[in-house]
Structure 1
Amino acid sequence: MDILWYVVGRDGRYPWDPKWTRPVDLDYLRALTTSIDARGYSGALFATQPNGGLDPFITAASLAAHTRRMRFLLAIHPSIFTPSQLVKLTTTLDQNIGGRLLLNIVNGHTSLAPAGIHLAHDERYRRCDEFLDVYRRTMSGETVDFDGEFIKVKGAKAEFPSLQKPYPPLWFGGSSDIAMDVAAKHVDKYLTWGEPPPETAATIKDVNARAAKYGRKLGFGIRLNIILRDTDEEAWQAAQHMLDSASDDAIAKVQASNSKQDAIGQVRQAAFHGGTRPKSARDLEIYPNLWSGFGLLRNGPGIAVVGGPESVAARLIEYKNLGVESFILSGNPFLEEAHRFADQVMPLLPLDNSWQQPHAPSAPYAWQTAPTPSQPRIDAAAAG
């Protein structure tokens, strides 16, 4: 197992409530990422919105020098990039941060209209298929000509190499048939939002079968929220407080936003809670220690693991035994809960630390090995 934490430009004990929202600036992000780096997490997912919020590349570049080991998993909407743009950003950042870059390819969930993108669900995935074809070939050293439905390039090539070969690993999420087909064809790790283990097992089996048709084998990751306390009883009390903290209006706004999404994963998340707040938080326990109530309070992944350290660890290990290797976790507030999880649950998990092995030095650029005219030696003392 390897454990990543979560970073986004909104945090607080109850970030959906303005009274509990804390400012997220560079100083706060530095405190969060240095904690993630120091406490044994293998990295963090830097989430993004296509129409605002933190830019993941600039954020990672600003923070990497303050860390030593952690990997930066950056959420990327390919619909707002050209393949060549992403090649340039990827190779530059991967070189600059010592081969610690990962990319999470995102196509659904959030409306792209504010970014000027007006593609229907399946169109986004068809474009992503073409995009990843050109991107992977270019990153692998080819000079690419491509004339597709959405992508048309001639002579695309990577001027500089990435440190990781042939390119930083590609992670990808999507629950529709077309999404899983694109993942099977192109990516290294399939990332699913939290669902009960039987549903997760079925997803893994499905994606594995699709990948096998291409002669490929994928890794698997899962995105889960965590409500961790010293005991199960205290954790469920915290879930109740969280549910009670949100106004009816706040919940209604989240559900109205979710209902406009065409992402299949969002539809599946909504089915676990039905859009209605119960009186008792535990009425939304859909599997031992799994709570769907988080989906009433926020967009995106809405399942939380609720419990004391042993219960949380047991549930994560259950997912691990299904074939999940990577876990992207979060608790609110991010900073305090990152320490709580590291203190109380990580010692109970069979962690894989192979990600900490350094990458081999990159090959020199062509201009670094080309013959240069001889230069007269400058004596430093004489030069002053």
Structure 2
Amino acid sequence: MTAAPEFVVAVPTRGDGARGDWGPGPAPRPAFLTDLRDGAYGPFDHLAQIGRAAEIAGFHGVSVPFDPAGEESLVVTAGLLRQSRWLRGTAGFHPGVATPVYAAKVAASLQRFTGGRLDWRLAIDLDPAVARAQGDFAEGAERYARADEFLTIARGVWHEDSYTYEGRYFQVLAGGFQAPLSDRPFPRVHLSGTSAEALDLSARHADVHLFDAADATGAAGAEGGGLGALIADLGARAAGYGRAVASGLVLPVLAREDGAEVRAEVARRAAAGTPVPALAGSYEEVAAVLRGHLADGVTTFVLEAAPHLEETYRLGEHLLPLLTEEVPHAG
């Protein structure tokens, strides 16, 4: 039986347009005001509104990316999950910034606080300048070997109360969690990339492998077969380890009622210097593209649309009903 698709909305960690304190500063207060205290509404209040919009609009979850110049994704994800009842939250982070035992301990607490709704998305293949700015000087295939150890240990200490591991990058001696920390499920792991190392790491560890828009439209894959070939390659690798890995797709989207509205919005964004997503069309047109990816084997869609608050409501009201008419809400 084919798994029901999951629809996830991306949440920004570096502001949403000019909102919060990431955009231009507030206008000077008029001289006649005597109360000079800052307002109570800040950047995290806006992020909370996006999370609330995602839950109201019927999305299954939110994805908070790793961004060295943005807010810490685990903090943002924790806040969004604590204020919601049904959403899953995927926190992106770099496996070089903490030991796997510490990362697992943080995740165990977040799973307890949120009813087991935390997922992980590891950012492994960073730009070298970004990685070094994070204190990470691993290169090439070494990054994936370290991530393999990281995930092996994180799962090990979660499921065993006397766990020992001797690796090249990490060592643990008689570690591990006991109840109640170990009572919640381990976070679902999201990985990405199209290299042989990336696909093999997912085959061993991922619950969901995320491809991107370029993979969906280009001739990616060893045989130039595009997304279908990549999904087949991933499936064969996972089967070799006795596992199955779901396939996901990260898509920047712009959807409107009809072509005229789409063209008007594209023109407005072009005039403002705002990037226009490659997937732009009417709700029906965008839904048709997503149905095609469903047929390819994609079961998780991470939709990126800005400004995030307004577009989350828009996509939830007009696009999701075209795709989830018989899909129960994930809880």
Q: TM-score range by the shorter chain?
A: 0.7 to 0.9
Aligned match for 2:292, one of 310, 318, 330: 318
Which amino acid in 2 is paired with 1:317?
R
Query: 1:55/1:320 Cα in 2 relative to 1: closer, same or farther (>3 Å)?
Result: same
Q: Displacement of 1:353 after TM fit?
A: 2.8
What secondary structure sits across from 1:205 in the alignment?
helix
State whether structure 2 residue 75 is matched by structure 1 residue 58. yes
Q: Displacement of 1:48 after TM fit?
A: 2.1
Aligned match for 1:187, one of 206, 212, 223: 206
Aligned match for 1:69, one of 72, 83, 86: 86
Which amino acid in 2 is paired with 1:10?
R
Query: 1:21/1:155 Cα in 2 relative to 1: closer, same or farther (>3 Å)?
Result: farther
2:63 match: 45
TM-score, length of structure 1 as denominator length = 0.72
2:31 match: none
TM-score, length of structure 2 as denominator length = 0.83
Q: Can you list the C-alpha shifts for 1:210-237, whole angstroms capped at 9, x where unaligned?
A: 1111111111111001111111343244
Q: Which has the larger radius of gyration?
A: 1
1:9 match: 13
Q: Displacement of 1:3 after TM fit?
A: 0.7
Q: Displacement of 1:304 after TM fit?
A: 3.2
Query: 1:8/1:238 Cα in 2 relative to 1: closer, same or farther (>3 Å)?
Result: same
What secondary structure sits across from 2:244 in the alignment?
coil
Is the 1:94–1:163 contact (alpha carbons within 8 Å) kept by the matching residues of 2?
Answer: no
Equivalent positions of 1:28-177 (< 5 A) are: 28-49=46-67, 51-110=68-127, 111-141=130-160, 143-159=162-178, 160-165=180-185, 167-177=186-196
Query: 1:21/1:33 Cα in 2 relative to 1: closer, same or farther (>3 Å)?
Result: farther
Which amino acid in 2 is paired with 1:202?
A
Aligned match for 2:259, one of 221, 232, 237: 232
Is the 1:13–1:20 contact (alpha carbons within 8 Å) kept by the matching residues of 2?
Answer: no
Taking the aligned partners of 1:136 and 1:219, their CA distance within structure 2 comes to 19
Is the 1:57–1:93 contact (alpha carbons within 8 Å) kept by the matching residues of 2?
Answer: no
Taking the aligned partners of 1:349 and 1:147, their CA distance within structure 2 comes to 47
Q: Displacement of 1:244 after TM fit?
A: 4.1
Is the 2:64–2:73 contact (alpha carbons within 8 Å) kept by the matching residues of 1?
Answer: yes
Q: Report sequence identity in percent.
A: 25
Which amino acid in 2 is paired with 1:30?
A
Equivalent positions of 1:235-384 (< 5 A) are: 235-246=262-273, 294=276, 304-350=278-324, 352-353=327-328, 355-356=330-331
What secondary structure sits across from 1:117 in the alignment?
coil
Query: 1:246/1:163 Cα in 2 relative to 1: closer, same or farther (>3 Å)?
Result: farther
RMSD: 2.5
Taking the aligned partners of 2:132 and 2:59, their CA distance within structure 1 comes to 35
What secondary structure sits across from 1:79 in the alignment?
coil
1:253 match: none
Taking the aligned partners of 2:278 and 2:173, their CA distance within structure 1 comes to 46
Which amino acid in 2 is paired with 1:196?
A
Query: 1:311/1:14 Cα in 2 relative to 1: closer, same or farther (>3 Å)?
Result: farther
Q: Displacement of 1:138 after TM fit?
A: 1.8
Consecutive unaligned residues of structure 1, counting only runs of 5 or more, are: 248-292, 295-302, 357-384
What secondary structure sits across from 1:112 in the alignment?
helix
Is the 1:42–1:355 contact (alpha carbons within 8 Å) kept by the matching residues of 2?
Answer: yes
Query: 1:318/1:139 Cα in 2 relative to 1: closer, same or farther (>3 Å)?
Result: same
Taking the aligned partners of 1:39 and 1:238, their CA distance within structure 2 comes to 22
Q: Displacement of 1:10 after TM fit?
A: 2.8
Query: 1:162/1:3 Cα in 2 relative to 1: closer, same or farther (>3 Å)?
Result: farther
Q: Displacement of 1:116 after TM fit?
A: 1.0
1:196 match: 216
Is the 2:63–2:90 contact (alpha carbons within 8 Å) kept by the matching residues of 1?
Answer: yes
Taking the aligned partners of 1:73 and 1:103, their CA distance within structure 2 comes to 5
Q: Can you list the C-alpha shifts for 1:103-142, whole angstroms capped at 9, x where unaligned?
A: 1121023421111111113211110011111112222225
